[in-house]
Structure 1
Amino acid sequence: MSTGVSFSELVDGFQQLGLDQTSSVLVHSSLSSFGYVDGGAEAVCRALTATCGTVMMPSGTWDLTGIPAPPGLVRPHNAYWTAESWIDFDERLSQATAFHPDLPVDRWLGRIPDVFRQTSAPVRGDHPLFALQAAGPEAERLIAAQRLDWPLGPIEALDGDILLIGVGHTSNTTIHLAEQYLNRSNFYRYAKTADGVWAEFPNVSGESHRFDAIEPLVRSATREVRIGQARVRRIPKDAVLTATRDLILADPAALLCTDDPACRCAAALAQRLAVV
């Protein structure tokens, strides 16, 4: 007899959070956090779509499509590597994969988002670095809000909650949206868009390794359950935006590291200080 987390236990746990078919959620997840799940990532995806109305997940392809900045293109406070020469740049470009909507999701985002892509018939954005994907009645509207110059548009359009499944706020992309409202963590990045073709994309977000510092400010708005070994939290999107805004208005360096000048955090802070 299996001792893993069952489909019904997944659904029950999500329902304990108050989720139902009226819910729209942005999911950040770790499959391994559960321990063992009967049916693996596909069972988690089925449980989410069976419980919630609309489910959105990241589906970025940065590891395949991303390239360095071309030589000579150095934007202020951009914290990114530049190709040493045009020969180096062209070689990096040839090695990269041109974006298309069937590319697998970056592995560092976890197993669940790529299985969601394969099994849940989601609507997927066309941003070559930071696509989002969604399934459910609100999916078309949410993904339509993603523009090449505004990759976090679907999160802005979301009327719902953030669901952290076995991960911390370091995975909570909504904090980046609040940063960008305050002109912080707005980076330019580069991707291969077709054979021999590259493009520059603005408003790509930065580091998140200090984001768990937000937890005390959103704790009262957070609902939490344990499913298997996984800590699963539901936080209203607006609570995350408000807490992040309050922190940054009080301290431009909030949620950033201040001890590593080479980190993108330093560039994000410089961006904020340039407008205050």
Structure 2
Amino acid sequence: MSTKPGTGPAGPLCTRATLAADLRTLGVRPGETLLVHSSLSSLGWVCGGPVAVVMALLDALGRDGTLVVPTHSGGNSDPADWGNPPVPQAWWADIRASMPHFDAHITPSLGVGVIPETVRNWPGALRSSHPQTSFAALGPRAGAIVDGHALDCRFGEQSPLARLEDGGARILLLGAGYEACSAFHLAEYRVPGPKAQNAFAVMTPQGARWTTVTDTPASAERFDELGAAFEKEGPVVRGTVGAAEARLFTLADAVAHAEAWLPVHRP
């Protein structure tokens, strides 16, 4: 790792062992199911990079624990909705016709960080089948969590989030803020509201197809405020892992709080 002349790497030095110890001190328990949203850069200088972080998480969870991460791939979406950057309207038809279909084994994650991408490629990892909002899991409960992710249900009752809720999973925000907390989207599905069209390239029994479904809109708007309100009222364990601020809490508690908060503060 290169550094500027006269400067050293930003610390602290983190290793697999120190990170696992920090996770245990925070309260991560052997045998539990843990949904992790993460930022590698927030931890400090990690010897071994994202591989060491995943190893530390697996060490803290033990052989009976299950690690879950978001492996979203939002680039597989309608170019008409792209804005960062937009593409010319004259390209839209060609993009829809040419977009590689989602493949759980090879489609990379996008916008969720390098730690989820490392988990996705880990031996034995399983990944759900939604072409935009998949989750990957490692551990004995992985199959039950990722199976049955419906194309018209990015974050709702037929998504891994509902399976995680049913299984008593907890969430670890590891250097990530509440705006990354995907469980809040499960609450969006339980608040009555309009539906919207969602499109992507997916493999069907008839072959690769550009497919449009009706689904619930999902937005992280004001999730930072929602998280702050939840933290004031809910049981959230706060601490540090390496240099990262970490928060640990029960997924079901976060979803229940969001179900009450969203209709009032983000109607």
1:189 match:
198
2:4 match:
none
Gaps in structure 1 of 5+ consecutive residues:
70-78, 257-268, 270-276
2:230 aligned to 214, 217, 221, which one?
Answer: 217
1:136 match:
139
Q: 1:217 to 1:196 in 2, by over 3 A?
A: closer
Distance between the aligned counterparts of 1:196 and 1:143, measured in 2? 22
Residue type of the partner of 1:113? P
Give SS of 2:220's match: coil
Give SS of 1:224's match: strand
Alpha carbons 2:72, 2:111 under 8 Å: kept: no
Deviation of 1:41 (Å): 0.5
1:109 match:
112
Q: Deviations over 1:78-116 (max 9, x none)?
A: x8889987x643211244222112234333111111111
Alpha carbons 2:72, 2:110 under 8 Å: kept: no
Count residues with an aligned counterpart. Answer: 242
1:17 aligned to 26, 29, 53, which one?
Answer: 26
Give me the CA root mean square deviation: 2.7
Alpha carbons 1:5, 1:227 under 8 Å: kept: no
Residue type of the partner of 1:62? G
1:97 match:
100
Alpha carbons 1:7, 1:47 under 8 Å: kept: yes
Residue type of the partner of 2:209? V
1:160 aligned to 157, 169, 175, which one?
Answer: 169
Distance between the aligned counterparts of 1:30 and 1:51, measured in 2? 18
Asked if residue 7 in structure 1 is aligned to residue 16 in structure 2, the reply is yes
Q: 1:51 to 1:198 in 2, by over 3 A?
A: same
1:68 match:
79
After TM superposition, the structure 1 stretch with the greater mean CA deviation from structure 2, 104-113 or 19-28, is: 104-113
Q: 1:55 to 1:236 in 2, by over 3 A?
A: same
Q: 1:43 to 1:186 in 2, by over 3 A?
A: farther
Distance between the aligned counterparts of 1:205 and 1:49, measured in 2? 33
> Percent identity at matched positions?
23
Alpha carbons 1:61, 1:103 under 8 Å: kept: no
Q: 1:100 to 1:196 in 2, by over 3 A?
A: closer
2:57 match:
48
What's the TM-score once normalised by structure 2's chain length?
A: 0.81
Alpha carbons 1:186, 1:206 under 8 Å: kept: no
1:265 match:
none
After TM superposition, the structure 1 stretch with the greater mean CA deviation from structure 2, 218-227 or 231-240, is: 218-227
1:201 aligned to 213, 230, 234, which one?
Answer: 213
Alpha carbons 2:74, 2:133 under 8 Å: kept: yes
1:259 match:
none
Gaps in structure 2 of 5+ consecutive residues:
1-10
Alpha carbons 1:67, 1:96 under 8 Å: kept: no
Deviation of 1:205 (Å): 4.5
**Matched ranges for 1:81-92 at <5 A:** 88-92=91-95
Alpha carbons 1:180, 1:186 under 8 Å: kept: no
Residue type of the partner of 2:210? W
Distance between the aligned counterparts of 1:99 and 1:245, measured in 2? 31
**Matched ranges for 1:170-185 at <5 A:** 170-184=179-193
Alpha carbons 2:127, 2:135 under 8 Å: kept: yes
Deviation of 1:248 (Å): 2.7
1:28 aligned to 26, 37, 40, which one?
Answer: 37
Give SS of 1:112's match: helix
